[in-house]
A and B are shown apart, each in its own frame.
Chain A
């Protein structure tokens, strides 16, 4: 099989990655009133191999959600703001407008159902399609990062890492500044160098001649 088995059978692995993907996606939406809310939203801590295996699974789900975005925008054109089962809504439902809306939104609904079949969690699918898909609209892949932690797990010394969504805590690149050199100085330096070179050659000839003399004397 492809990838790591992680000491689990197929169904166990599937269920585990489903749970992990749900946890990671749901961690984006933070409930401010919750006392036990996590400090860094959009992040889960696991072992390094599990984090690495989770990465493609989550990224494929995001690609799925991103595909639905244009259909939703298109369907918005024919949608209605009226409350469900109100008289206005009923007229819209009977009209051609609804038919168009239905046609336009159908692919998005299919994609949502596909995502749900993978996650089996309504809240996670909501967060995925409403928040994460919008966030990564302009990014062509690479939505998550895995970073290793220094501490190993107590008990089995498992190597730990966290997986989080890109966009926050991004690495800041500091460009190294090239040293600024004024033009006047460089010209002077060049002049000096040539001068020293000529001096050296003169010295060399002198020493050679003196050496010749010394050999003659001896």
Chain B
């Protein structure tokens, strides 16, 4: 079976992983209450989505 000849150096491994970073989620702000949330999602605070309240929240 094929086997690696040399141990991978720290530098080589880290170089490979240099593109693996996860980007931050882009947040948008609720039109009604200004709570930050991912876009195209019902507002987690007030339940507002595209012109109407979809999820009633208890105060």
Contacts and interface: CB of A to CB of B under 8 A. Distances in A.
Contacts of B37: 150
Contact of B41 (A39, A148, A169, A170): A148
Contact of A149 (B41, B51, B56): B41
Interface of A: 39-40, 147-151, 169-174
Contact of B42 (A148, A170, A173): A148
A171 B50 contact: yes
Contact size range, B: 10 to 19
Given A147-B42, A150-B42, A169 B52 contact: yes
Contacts of B43: 150
Indicate the member of B41, B44, B52 with the most A CB atoms within 10 Å: B41
A71 B52 CA distance: 38
Given A148-B40, A149-B41, A151-B44, A172 B52 contact: yes
Judged by DSSP, the binding face of A is loop
Indicate the member of A147, A150, A173, A174 with the most B CB atoms within 10 Å: A150
B9 to A, nearest CB: 34
A149 B42 contact: yes
Which 3 pairs across A and B sit closest by C-beta, in order of nearness?
Answer: A150-B44, A150-B41, A150-B37
Contacts of A150: 37-38, 41-44
A41 to B, nearest CB: 12
Interface in B18-59: 37-38, 40-44, 49-52, 54-56
Contact of A39 (B38, B40, B56): B56
